[in-house]
């Protein structure tokens, strides 16, 4: 029963819980047992408190029992995630729990309050399983920059899961959780979703409150859902989205209830594609894109056309400037946000010298190489004499990138379809010696963050046995329309052979002889970096 329960979708779990086929406690236990047995070889989790999880599950069961006694009217008021396990990236505050953001500098820190999204998940009765691994302060594309070791990809344990939300993506792909929370600053939900073969969405900037979420780049960060299908992603987004007065960037835009009513039927979902006008940006088929990745994306476009969509080539001419502008803006904001980690107020503290010596010792030991690299770059870009030349100019380029998208929407295009990542998952350590090569893996995702738009990655097939993601980009506040399109693509590919393929790495996860991700990285020559 344990294996069967972990492989249910969240919406199937909701049906079973309401029918009394199993309890929230049984559901939580099945996932806890899988984590305990398999995470040694996966490295997706940083903290799981079995006792606390079962307390939450017991409370969810009490409400479910009451609903069954009262009748269907009360059951209908329960959110689809009531009693369903959810994973949180380890930069989301949970009262009384750890929150390290993947960094040594927050080792030992205990959050005194819940993030807004944690409050929302508790309010709908979701069961929070624990905290997942991530690149330090969300700075990375492979989850190799975590101070607590790398995470493996369930499709091939020698490969990365993407990042920075790689722990959340790997946990969902490995059936450790049906849904998970990630954050997306330049692609950190969509890119790991692509590499792990699941659904990931970056909502419109301001759709989800950032209160209680550790900041990387405040004008780019956005919380988003990871799930194994579009319906589950929609349900998780519905649970956490909405206005929060504690976050001034949180928008007072109503959350559409349609997120909870995506079509059950594949045929009905597929019918929603008919008549859509989709744009295919020529600039997103970048030099160096793997042939297998490009082939899967073009096959997906052909399927959308066959389902009744019109696909036309569009141009986003300032895409080529996106990486340079993004890394200036993101690093500048990171430099400002990470200044608070000084060894005085919270987290790691090194003592023994004067104030300056303690400050330098704390930050020198607490931050990893990638965080230091971005702090230095951002501080330089903000320094006197360089602010206008770098940061100011990058913000102007950002305006041009947004104008490119606005022109596409003005031409009547409903959504953009594009690759999520120019490659499938690469081997652990393959890009650690070349930060620029690592940065280039986000070339297709980061323009969406620069423009503040919603974007999603959905599975589009396999290349050499590894997942390829199709990216969907929409107008501001069009999350429902994008998820309907994602559900439609699921409908037209429901019979595709690749839909039934489970990650091959799952078989090795329960083996006691299977190496830890850090040991795999060391064996591949990446362990000392």
Residues serving a catalytic function are: 89, 164, 188
Asked whether the beta carbons of 285 and 444 are under 8 A apart, the reply is no
Per-position b or e across 354-388, b if 16+ CB within 10 A of its CB: eeeebbebbbeebbbebbbebbebbbebbeeeeee
Q: In angstroms, rounded to a whole number, what is the distance separating the alpha carbons of residues 330 and 6?
A: 37
For 164, the 3-state DSSP assignment is coil
Instruction: Give the CA count within 13 Å in the CB-facing half-sphere of 327.
Output: 20
Packing angle between helix 230-240 and helix 10-19, nearest 10 degrees? 80
For residue 424, the surrounding DSSP H or E stretch is none
Q: In angstroms, rounded to a whole number, what is the distance separating the alpha carbons of residues 196 and 162?
A: 8
Q: In angstroms, rounded to a whole number, what is the distance separating the alpha carbons of residues 124 and 79?
A: 6
* Dihedral sign, Cα of residue 244, residue 246, residue 250, residue 253: positive
Task: Report the Cα 249 to chain-centroid distance in Å.
Answer: 20
Residue 26 preceded by cis peptide, ω within 30: no
Q: Among 513, 456, 515, which Cα is nearest to 481's?
A: 456
Q: In angstroms, rounded to a whole number, what is the distance separating the alpha carbons of residues 266 and 230?
A: 12
* Dihedral sign, Cα of residue 262, residue 266, residue 269, residue 273: positive
Strands 223-227 and 455-463: unpaired
Strands 127-132 and 85-89: parallel
For residue 456, the surrounding DSSP H or E stretch is strand 455-463
Task: Report the Cα 132 to chain-centroid distance in Å.
Answer: 11
Instruction: Give the CA count within 13 Å in the CB-facing half-sphere of 357.
Output: 4
Asked whether the beta carbons of 415 and 473 are under 8 A apart, the reply is yes
For residue 426, give the DSSP letter: P
Q: Where are the alpha helices (DSSP H) in 243-368?
A: 266-271, 291-306, 322-337, 355-366
Q: In angstroms, rounded to a whole number, what is the distance separating the alpha carbons of residues 336 and 274?
A: 47
Query: Phi first, then psi: what are they for 444, rounded to 5°?
Result: -90, -15
Asked whether the beta carbons of 488 and 270 are under 8 A apart, the reply is yes
Q: In angstroms, rounded to a whole number, what is the distance separating the alpha carbons of residues 529 and 520?
A: 13
Q: Among 143, 216, 148, 228, which Cα is nearest to 186's?
A: 216
């Amino acid at each position: 029963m344990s294996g069967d329960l972990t492989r249910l979708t969240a919406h199937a779990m909701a049906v079973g819980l309401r029918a009394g086929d199993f309890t929230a406690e049984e559901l939580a236990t099945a996932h806890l047992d899988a984590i305990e047995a398999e995470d040694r070889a996966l490295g997706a989790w940083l903290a799981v408190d079995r006792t606390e999880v079962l307390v939450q599950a017991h409370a969810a069961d009490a409400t479910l029992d009451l609903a069954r006694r009262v009748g269907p009217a009360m059951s209908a008021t329960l959110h689809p995630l009531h009693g369903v396990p959810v994973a949180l990236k380890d930069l989301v505050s949970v009262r009384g729990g750890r929150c390290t953001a993947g960094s040594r500098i927050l080792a030992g820190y205990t959050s005194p309050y819940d993030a807004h999204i944690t409050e929302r998940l508790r309010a709908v009765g979701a069961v929070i399983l624990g905290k997942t691994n991530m690149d330090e302060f969300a700075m990375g594309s492979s989850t190799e920059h975590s101070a607590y070791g790398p995470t493996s990809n369930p499709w091939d344990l020698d490969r990365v899961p993407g990042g920075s939300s790689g722990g959340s993506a790997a946990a969902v792909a490995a059936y450790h959780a049906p849904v998970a929370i990630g954050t997306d600053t330049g692609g950190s939900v969509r890119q790991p979703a692509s590499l792990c073969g699941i659904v990931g969405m970056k909502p419109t900037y301001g759709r989800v409150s950032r209160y209680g979420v550790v900041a990387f780049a405040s004008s780019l960060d956005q919380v988003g859902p990871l799930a194994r299908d579009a319906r589950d992603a929609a349900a998780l987004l519905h649970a956490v989205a909405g206005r929060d007065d504690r976050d001034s960037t949180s928008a007072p835009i109503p959350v559409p209830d349609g997120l909870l009513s995506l079509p059950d039927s594949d045929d009905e979902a597929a019918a929603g594609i008919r008549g859509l006008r989709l744009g295919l940006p020529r600039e997103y088929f970048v030099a160096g894109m793997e042939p297998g990745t490009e082939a899967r994306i073009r096959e997906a476009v052909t399927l959308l056309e066959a389902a009744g969509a019109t696909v036309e080539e569009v141009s986003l001419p300032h895409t080529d400037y996106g990486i340079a502008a993004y890394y200036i803006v993101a690093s500048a904001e990171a430099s400002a946000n990470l200044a608070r980690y000084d060894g005085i107020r919270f987290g790691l503290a090194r003592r023994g010298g004067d104030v300056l010596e303690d400050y330098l010792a704390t930050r020198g030991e607490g931050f990893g190489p990638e965080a230091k690299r971005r702090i230095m770059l951002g501080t330089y870009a903000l320094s006197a004499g360089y602010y206008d030349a770098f940061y100011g100019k990058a913000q102007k380029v950002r305006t041009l990138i947004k104008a490119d998208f606005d022109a596409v929407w003005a031409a009547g295009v409903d959504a953009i379809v594009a690759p999520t990542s120019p490659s499938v998952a690469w081997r652990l350590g393959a890009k650690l010696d070349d930060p620029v090569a690592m940065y280039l893996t986000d070339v297709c995702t980061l323009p969406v963050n620069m423009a503040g738009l919603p974007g999603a990655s959905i599975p589009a097939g396999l290349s050499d046995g590894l997942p390829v993601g199709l990216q969907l980009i929409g107008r501001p506040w069009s999350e429902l329309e994008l998820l309907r399109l994602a559900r439609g693509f699921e409908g037209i590919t429901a019979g595709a052979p690749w839909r039934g393929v489970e990650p091959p790495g799952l078989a090795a996860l329960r083996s006691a002889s299977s190496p830890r991700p850090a040991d795999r990285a060391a064996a591949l020559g990446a362990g000392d970096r």
